A and B are shown apart, each in its own frame.
Chain A
């Protein structure tokens, strides 16, 4: 092409841009133009910024070079390997009475999902389908919370999400059972590049509606891949949404995610982020409290072992008066692992009577493990209550001795105290099946092997 000779474009094209151009010309050629505009804005932003570097304040402690240096196969719309129902069932929480949605490499799998009994007024379907058939619900929402200029990773997701999940619960409908979402990442044949998938979730609760999502992120054990997801929640007046995510990717995998909830008056959003897996993981979890009396609760538990890096960046954006935000994050770090927590609370001038609590506690169980915990409060209203606390420490030796002095051996005493530390967050989860599962993970990780 002639244009390649122009000096401004003589720079080698980023392979992702090249891939984007191919997809745009082929698979996405018939997609609505607003969607392709959104995608193009995504790739343009990414092309300009690239993978975030540690020179950026928001990524100071999280080096994503390994992602930059790796060549990935982007799967967006390409057919994926069928993992089979039995494998998928193995990833479901036993004893959890829930609807089941399965996404493989970010693509909704109708065959593997089980939505029987879903009440009328509740839509759970492929985002790809919704984009085409429910433009009225999707356009004007998709990409308006997690915007492309928020981060280049979100921009990349916006450019490449081929599919994803769309949830819509109509006015005053209360979904009794949670929707269990299995996010499965599967690599291609041996010898192929690791997969990068860009799952996208758009979930809408109309006024007075209520639903819960239990998301589990898993992949091929001991393989490298990259999951870069974006989830947008719209919570209308009086509606309530709960999002529980258990991230258990392979220890060689990368997991980056942007989650944002937009809350109107009297709305409620609860997030539980349980980060267990992935070599490098980064969660950006934002609550935009843009209606009076709305409430956001962010709970988090992260467990680091070996060389894992677990990063959570949260934002409570108080834009209206009388809103509450509560945040409880606990980390347990062993070996050479690193934990990062950055909790930002932004209180706009109009947001009087804000009640914000942030609590970050970290248990560092090895000399080599590190934690960077940073509360970041920006308050422009004068009648507010904002409290925050951050602790980083070891197990309390007085407590260990107290238990031992009652006959409990040292290993068990330490284990009891670790479980107790985690239970402060785990106990906030409303599903016994998930609680039990997390207790087992803790036991696996911290109980002495006989």
Chain B
């Protein structure tokens, strides 16, 4: 088991957003979380990555046998958790390659492996470029600075290819991408998926799931998973929208 979330409740600035999430992800599985705006999708990914602006009020998260909520963001990353940001930050003055090499070596250090030097890292970067096609000149620039929206998202997947996480959370990676970039990003993800790793795709649209086929689809509404199914659920959502699920969910809560 990669990740087990039990009754996770979280709030931001005193307002509760997550009202008890339960979710288990095993090795080799791709899960998709869908839901209307404001349902708590991004909050869930930020809480898992360790953003301290969110407060965890209750629940447990187990990641590879460790208490994830007890770990600093960098410890989570070193343990194999990766979040592709919905809005990757531009960091002027920090060179992309320097940054990625620092991240890569931190990860190696945490695993008791020797750091790689600049030459070896460059070889690795070239190899990973084959997985995620990215203009190499971007790596000579500051992190994300002056990148187009598509380039920023591709850069996130490229970083993922280099860091080889156990579990990757893709937070609305598809938003703002044109069809070519979407295909490109999806191909990258498909090349990286294996029997050992897992993915959590957070998305508003079913479109991404045409290219990355999920094993499980969950619908998040008002901070709770109100329905889980297989990829057919995503297609049904595409066809019928979210209203019917919302209605079902509210009927259930009335009965309860």
Please provide the chain A residues from 400 to 450 with a CB less than 8 Å away from any CB of chain B in the complex.
401-410, 412-413, 416-417, 419-421, 423-424
Contacts of B110 in A (CB 8 A): 407
A-B contact count (CB 8 A): 72
* Contact (Cβ within 8 A) B49 A420: no
Contacts of A409 in B (CB 8 A): 72, 74, 106
A398 interface residue, CB < 8 Å from B?
A: yes
Contacts of A420 in B (CB 8 A): 91-94, 142
* Contact (Cβ within 8 A) A410 B72: yes
Question: Which of B72, B91, B106 lies in contact with A399, CB distance below 8 A?
Answer: B91
| CA–CA, A195 and B107, complex, Å | 54
* Contact (Cβ within 8 A) B93 A421: yes
* Contact (Cβ within 8 A) B74 A396: no
Instruction: Give chain A nearest CB distance to B143 CB in angstroms.
Output: 8
Contacts of B94 in A (CB 8 A): 403, 416-417, 420
Known: A412-B102, A416-B102. A405 touches B91 (CB 8 A): no
Instruction: Give chain A nearest CB distance to B89 CB in angstroms.
Output: 4
* Contact (Cβ within 8 A) A402 B92: no
B159 interface residue, CB < 8 Å from A?
A: yes
Question: Which of A399, A410, A423 lies in contact with B89, CB distance below 8 A?
Answer: A399
* Contact (Cβ within 8 A) B163 A402: no
| CA–CA, A255 and B247, complex, Å | 73
* Contact (Cβ within 8 A) B72 A404: yes
Q: How many residues of B contact A (CB 8 A)?
A: 28
Contacts of B106 in A (CB 8 A): 406-409
Contacts of B72 in A (CB 8 A): 404, 409-410
* Contact (Cβ within 8 A) B103 A407: yes
Residue from A396, A399, A406 whose CB has the most chain B CB atoms within 10 Å = A406
Contacts of B93 in A (CB 8 A): 417, 419-421, 423-424
| CA–CA, A421 and B94, complex, Å | 9
A-side residues, CB < 8 A to B, are: 396, 398-399, 401-410, 412-413, 416-417, 419-421, 423-424
25 contacts between A and B (CB under 8 A): A402-B85, A402-B91, A402-B143, A403-B91, A404-B73, A404-B74, A404-B77, A405-B50, A405-B76, A405-B77, A405-B83, A406-B77, A406-B100, A406-B103, A406-B106, A406-B163, A407-B74, A410-B72, A413-B74, A417-B94, A420-B91, A420-B92, A420-B142, A424-B92, A424-B93
Contacts beyond the supplied A417-B91, A419-B93: 12 A-B pairs with Cβ under 8 Å: A396-B89, A402-B88, A402-B89, A403-B91, A405-B74, A406-B77, A406-B103, A407-B163, A408-B102, A420-B91, A420-B92, A424-B92
